Amino acid sequence: MTLALEAIARLIRSTAQAEIVPRFRALTADDIREKRPGDLVTVADVEAERALIRGLEALAPGSVALGEEGVFADPSRLDLMAGNAPVWIIDPVDGTGNFAKGKPGFAVIVAYVERGTTVAGWIYDPLAGVMAAAVLGGGAWSDGRRLRVAADAAPEAMTGSAYGRTPSGDRSAQALTQSGRFGSVNNRGCSGLEYLELAFGQAHFTLHSRSLPWDHAAGMLIVTEAGGVASFLDGSPYDPRLLDRKPLAAATSEAWQLVHEIVTRPAAG
């Protein structure tokens, strides 16, 4: 299927401007609820997802859409990933925790998947007006500029983000920081923006504790198409249908290996 790439980008931008940006720092208590303890959803998430589903399915007849909020309401929708129809994977507001608190640090993420392969992906930062997009085999782009990850850097100059815990029980971010082998670890609470930093050459790695496809399918493709390295932490290829593994993306294979070495180190004794 030939995708109308510019039309998709326009849909993402227009949806963000209509459903998300006007609600930033304007939410009432009734506009926010907990899906589960510590996991928030807002009216912006719900309305943006509805608009994106309508628009994306119309742009690609025969496709189906899988949104984060729809899956929470009906987990069986994940079965769409096992079907033959192309699947849109949508995170309408990645970084809802930041958004709900009125803090910058959220993004819209859309991926297009065919039989378990991410064919295209978009990440949009609506406050900065910055979008990165990639098509499998076609590179990663932003406003006509081809994106490239950062060049080789000394470990002490590397920065990135890391979530989850190591085999010893330490937080991965803490283990990387205390190793003394990295410049800094800065968790933004928004995987979309962390992938953008990698693709724009502003960071060197990002490690996550869960492989929910709406968080990672687009970003893993964009980083790879920008020249980076992206797979599961166990070394297996990234697959958006697998939900129980840790995705690790990095600017270089050396950065990937160094992060892997530290966060997989067995517990002492």
The pair phi, psi for residue 267, each rounded to 5°, is -65, 145
The residue out of 122, 143, 164 marking a domain boundary is 143
Q: Are residues 11 and 133 in the same domain?
A: yes
Q: Are residues 115 and 182 in the same domain?
A: no
Q: Are residues 133 and 12 in the same domain?
A: yes
Closest CA to 135 of 150, 120, 151: 120
Q: In which order are the strands placed within the sheet that holds 140-142? A: 64-67, 87-94, 107-114, 117-125, 130-135, 140-142, 145-146
Give the range of the structural domain holding residue 62, as residue numbers without chain letter: 5-143
Q: Are residues 188 and 75 in the same domain?
A: no
When pLDDT is averaged across residues 240-247 and rounded to a whole number, the result is 96
Q: How many domains does the chain have?
A: 2
pLDDT score for 36:
84
Reading the block at residue 135, the tokens are 């098509």
What is the C-alpha to C-alpha distance for residues 112 and 87, in angstroms, rounded to an integer?
A: 6
Give me the CATH number covering residue 248: 3.40.190.80
Which pTM value belongs to this model?
A: 0.96
The pLDDT > 70 percentage for the chain reads 99
150 in any annotated domain: no
3-state class of 208 per DSSP?
coil
Q: Cβ neighbours of residue 180 under 8 Å, at least 6 residues apart? A: none
Q: Are residues 132 and 81 in the same domain?
A: yes
The residue out of 108, 143, 178 marking a domain boundary is 143
Q: What band does 251 get if pLDDT is binned at 50, 70 and 90?
A: very high
Q: Reply yes or no on whether the pLDDT at 267 is more than 80.
A: no
User: 137-175 burial by CB neighbour count: b if 16+ within 10 A, else e?
Assistant: eeebbbeeeebebbeeeeeeebbbbbbeebeeeebbbeb
Q: What band does 45 get if pLDDT is binned at 50, 70 and 90?
A: very high
pLDDT score for 268:
65
Q: Are residues 165 and 241 in the same domain?
A: yes
When pLDDT is averaged across residues 50-77 and rounded to a whole number, the result is 95
How confident is the model over 69-112, as pLDDT tens digits?
Answer: 999 999 999 999 999 999 999 999 999 999 999 999 999 999 99
Closest CA to 55 of 11, 114, 3, 4: 11
20 in any annotated domain: yes
Q: Are residues 19 and 138 in the same domain?
A: yes
Q: Are residues 167 and 257 in the same domain?
A: yes
Give me the CATH number covering residue 122: 3.30.540.10
The residue out of 93, 112, 143 marking a domain boundary is 143
